[in-house]
Chains A and B, each alone.
Chain A
Amino acid sequence: MATVAAATRPRVPVAGNLTVAGVLRSEWTKLRSVRSTWWLLCTAIILTVGVAVFVSPGATSGRPAPATFARNTEYGSVLSQLALLVLGVLVFTGEYQSGLIRASLSVVPRRLLLLWGKLGAFGAVALALSLASSVAAFVLGELAHRARPGHPHVWFGDPQVTRIVIGAGLVLAVTGIFGLALGAIIRNTAAGLSTIAAVFFVLPLLLRIALPASDQGFLRFLPSNAGGALWNAALSPTSMTPWTGFALLCGYTAALVAVAAWRLQHGDA
């Protein structure tokens, strides 16, 4: 063990001001330095691209419209949104469950800075990964099926294709942020993941079964369906228009972020 004196002398300051850039860098370090981040990101990419290449474009028989084909290549993002939701939830619950949150808030006593830092770092990672995987899914899905008879040869210039491909990525990223905000509110990993599963997977199924046909239109307001509207190929009477749906998903997410900010700022850490 080194001598005590080496630590402390000379007493020149080493710590600078608390800055947004510093908190962003710190949150990036936290993200990159645990294995679960890399596992979940790899899972998300493999699911999105794998489904595009091996499964979904063949789901429509005959010669699909370009928009339908593009939408089919993005089906995997329904699965990979689970990986992003889990990653998002863990950003905060991982800190609360390990006790790290106290160390974090003790060096970032202006607590909202910690939330903005986490949102920024995770949001950037989620957006980059989501867009990369949705574009890769479309491009690789398209190339993989070129040889198939009846393949429509779809590319970015075709009607709605760019909106669908980019939209699938945007929705994936915002869904991850939804998970982050929920984790910040719930603070417990198991409870957070259960809530995610309930909202995104159980509730849509349950309501579809339980609601009478006349009320099925209500389903379009669920976060998963609202987001799904952005990468829908054809407008159905029960779905929202693409950007309205996406705006609603962003609205839900913003509301959760606001609650998370309030809960973080007030009360005990």
Chain B
Amino acid sequence: MIEVENLSKRYGDKVAVDGLTFTVQPGVVTGFLGPNGAGKSTTLRMIAGLDVPASGQVRVNGRDYRSSRAPMAELGLLLEAKSVHPGRSARDHLLAIGQTAGIGQARVDQVIELVGLGDVARKRVGGYSLGMGQRVGIAVALLGRPRTIVLDEPVNGLDPEGVRWIRALLRTLADEGCTVFYSSHLMSEMAQTAKNLIVIGRGRLIADSTVEQFIAATTVASVVVRSPQTDRLRDLLDRPGVRIATEGPDLLRVDGITPEEIGTIALQAGVPVFDLRVERASLEDAFMRATQDSVEYGATGLENL
């Protein structure tokens, strides 16, 4: 479990994290979302005791991580790819990290096989690709079999097979009772993996809920209707609170009315309906809407391309 309480951090004049409070529960995968510069990485570094908060506090598994007796059993951390000396092999790197907690070569080799670095583990990390460097970082996070695992952009640089593997890994860890907290920019990926979400923007909390609740609360589900008589159907559905958009010659998108009501109205008027379905917004749509006011480094339009 990770408990963040009223956490703030500033760098010079710039406020990076501004009074954040949230709790990450064990047993489920929790995603951490926010635009670039929202303060995600800063928050993760403060959770691991690497950055010192200006105010507020963080508890990992109920206590201050910096005074933990067996840190590697409490928290596994992936911050950025290649937090590794380029001249050292992955095997020696993992051994050096593990030895602080009495972890020996056997567990190191086990984790190397687990992340799929068996063939290159004795080579210098400087020659690794981005994806291989990322696997070294994930191996470090898993090494101590911690109760809580925090990963900053774990799928960065991984191939599709690696992305699927991460998804399975995170779910398995959560099923075993781990607290799993990770950030990602890949919305579709997060929608498939995470159950809970923490969304921040400009260092403040925007949402703390399940993925489903977040999408439902931020966006409106609309109904798509296909009919050969769209003009008649338009007139029939035109009532206060209902918005209708024409999507194609025989396609309408309707907000503010249930599919049941549309079907009944169409039947009573004798208008044929070939297709009637609810379209939910994606996590990406929800995220864009929720964070549109707090985008720090937004690109402008494409007029000057």
Contact = CB atoms under 8 A, between A and B. Distances in A.
Interface of A: 1-2, 4-9, 11-19, 22-23, 25-27, 29-30, 33-36, 94-95, 98-111, 266-269
Given A33-B89, A94-B85, A2 B114 contact: yes
Contacts of A34: 85, 87-88
Contact of B172 (A8, A35, A100): A8
A34 B291 CA distance: 45
Contacts of B272: none
**Top 7 nearest A-B pairs by Cβ distance?**
A15-B144, A15-B72, A33-B92, A1-B116, A16-B102, A26-B99, A15-B101
Given A103-B140, A106-B75, A268-B50, A98 B97 contact: no
B165 A106 contact: no
B144 A14 contact: yes
Interface residues of B, number: 60
B176 A8 contact: yes
Given A14-B73, A14-B143, A109-B48, 6 more contacts: A11-B176, A18-B68, A18-B101, A34-B88, A106-B77, A269-B45
15 contacts: A2-B113, A2-B116, A14-B144, A15-B143, A17-B69, A17-B101, A19-B100, A26-B96, A26-B99, A33-B96, A35-B87, A94-B85, A98-B85, A107-B144, A269-B45
B81 to A, nearest CB: 9
Given A15-B72, A17-B69, A8 B102 contact: no
Interface string B128-147: 00000000010010111110
A266 B111 contact: no
B166 to A, nearest CB: 9
B73 A13 contact: yes
Contacts of A9: 176
Nearest to B51: A268
A195 B200 CA distance: 42
A5 B72 contact: no
Nearest to B66: A109
Contacts of B98: 15, 26
A14 B51 CA distance: 27
A99 B273 CA distance: 61
Interface string B58-102: 000000011111111101010110111111110011011111111
Q: Choose among B48, B79, B85, B176 the residue with the greatest number of A CB atoms under 10 Å from its CB.
A: B85
B276 interface: no
Q: Majority SS of interface residues in chain A?
A: helix
A222 to B, nearest CB: 33
A100 B85 contact: yes
Contacts of B92: 29-30, 33
Given A1-B115, A109-B66, A268-B52, A13 B145 contact: yes
B161 interface: yes
A13 B177 CA distance: 13
Contacts of A110: 66-67
B49 interface: yes
Contact of B50 (A12, A14, A36, A269): A269
B282 to A, nearest CB: 27
B107 interface: yes
Contact of B101 (A11, A22, A105): A22
Nearest to A103: B83
Interface string B156-194: 000001000100110011001100000000000000000
Nearest to B115: A1
Contacts of A101: 83
Contacts of A107: 71-72, 97, 100-101, 144
Given A98-B83, A102-B79, A107-B97, A14 B103 contact: yes
B144 A269 contact: no
B100 A18 contact: yes
Given A2-B114, A29-B96, A99 B80 contact: yes
Contact of B145 (A15, A33, A106): A15
B169 A109 contact: no
Given A15-B144, A18-B101, A98 B82 contact: yes
Contacts of B95: 29
A48 B68 CA distance: 45
